Amino acid sequence: MTENPASGRDSSRTVVRSPLCGIFLVGFMGAGKTSVGRALAEKLAWDFEDLDTRIEARERLTVAEIFRKHGESGFREREHVALRTLLEEHDSTSPIVVALGGGAFVQPENMSLLSLAERPSVFLDTPVEDLWERCKAPGEPERPLRTDPVQFRALHERRLAHYEQAAIRIETAGKTIQQIAEEIVQILDLQSRVAHKEPTE
């Protein structure tokens, strides 16, 4: 992986090897990985994929249904296969932004895959209070590991050390989706790759 700016360090010092052909967004449930990922991919004119969506399409079941049918261990097995397949499919000729599920970056085998691929991981660091409010909002999808606020916070604390191993940490509080995407572009020095749309009449 690239340099790991731990919490409190200036993430703008991160140096990423070129050519850059992929960015992986990590963080807890509700951090906005999918929304930021789509915005970032649009800016760069790259492909975008949500790993959970890929798993659901392959299994023809929602993540919650997979948890109920196969347990968390069964879901993690499918998650690892999906990540490995995705990395095999995309190379420097087809750059991609990927939103990982909240537990994907916690699994050592997945972190090993990303390390070997030398593609930067970006931790979207969001206050746990904001995460809880987003996850329990009306219309949000069922999240198998979202229980009560105490267990939710405990799970977040257990995963935090793993997220902080990401190459880059972005504090998201008080920022719009577009601002977060732009910050990632700036830190990774991708301004030259930003897609410039032709003005419409």
Could you tell me the CATH number of the domain that includes residue 93?
Answer: 3.40.50.300
Residue 170 lies in a domain: yes
pLDDT in tens, 66-121: 999 999 999 999 999 999 999 988 876 688 999 999 999 999 999 999 988 888 99
Identify any residues that bridge with 98 across adjacent strands, giving them in sequence order. Answer: 24, 49
Residue 16 lies in a domain: no
Residue 64 lies in a domain: yes
Residue 133 lies in a domain: yes
Low-confidence ranges of the chain (pLDDT < 70): 1-19, 92-93, 137-147, 195-201
Task: Specify the pLDDT at position 123.
Answer: 97
Residue 199 lies in a domain: no
Amino acid, res. 12: S
Domain range for 82: 32-190
Residue 200 lies in a domain: no
**3-class state of residue 171 by DSSP:** strand
Residue 174 lies in a domain: yes
Residue 165 lies in a domain: yes
Task: Specify the pLDDT at position 139.
Answer: 54
Task: Specify the pLDDT at position 2.
Answer: 38
pTM for the model stands at 0.83
Long-range contacts of 112-116 (CB under 8 A, 24+ apart): 113/80, 113/83, 113/84, 113/87, 114/1, 114/24, 114/83, 114/87, 115/1
Task: Specify the pLDDT at position 61.
Answer: 95
Amino acid, res. 109: E
Domain count of the fold of the chain = 1
Strand order in the sheet with 121-125: 47-50, 96-99, 22-26, 121-125, 168-171
Task: Specify the pLDDT at position 116.
Answer: 86
Task: Specify the pLDDT at position 147.
Answer: 67
